[in-house]
Amino acid sequence: MKPVVGTTPRVVKSDQEWREQLAPEEYAVLRQAGTERPFTGEYTDTKTTGVYECRACGAELFRSDTKFESHCGWPSFYDPADSDAVLLREDRTMGMRRIEVLCASCHSHLGHVFEGEGYATPTDQRYCINSISLKLVEDAGD
């Protein structure tokens, strides 16, 4: 996996506009790259069919058919909904090298992606995403 950062976000707001739109805990994760505590997120164990959108801008990020049980404490997906849905960049905080996942539309922090962990998924990747960064839009009829 080669980390890349895309061009200018399509959704651009001032810091004040983000603060007004997002609840303090949403802002801390989405705009300040925070992390919610494990096993506390709304979507950690959700099996509902639908599309997971960016809570900040509404861009489609992941689909429920790529969500899997990793037992890590956060929702896990093996692939974004579209190859252009997310951006990846190197993160060297916390004394380790990780790959940060950002919404391609607004550059909000979503979580991190890991690979080579041995999960039986088609991509051998685990997009470990904060529930608070997502909004699930259920499929009609669910």
Catalytic residues: 128
Please answer whether residues 49 and 63 qualify as being in contact, where contact means their C-beta atoms are separated by less than 8 angstroms: no
- 8-39: burial string, b at 16+ Cβ within 10 Å, e else: ebeeebeeeebeeebeeebbbbbbebebbeee
Burial 105-142 (b: 16+ CB within 10 A, else e): bbbbbbbbbbeeeebebeeebbbbbbbbbbbbeeeeee
From CA 70, how far away is CA 22, in angstroms rounded?
28
Hey, how many other C-beta atoms are within 10 angstroms of the C-beta on 94? 8
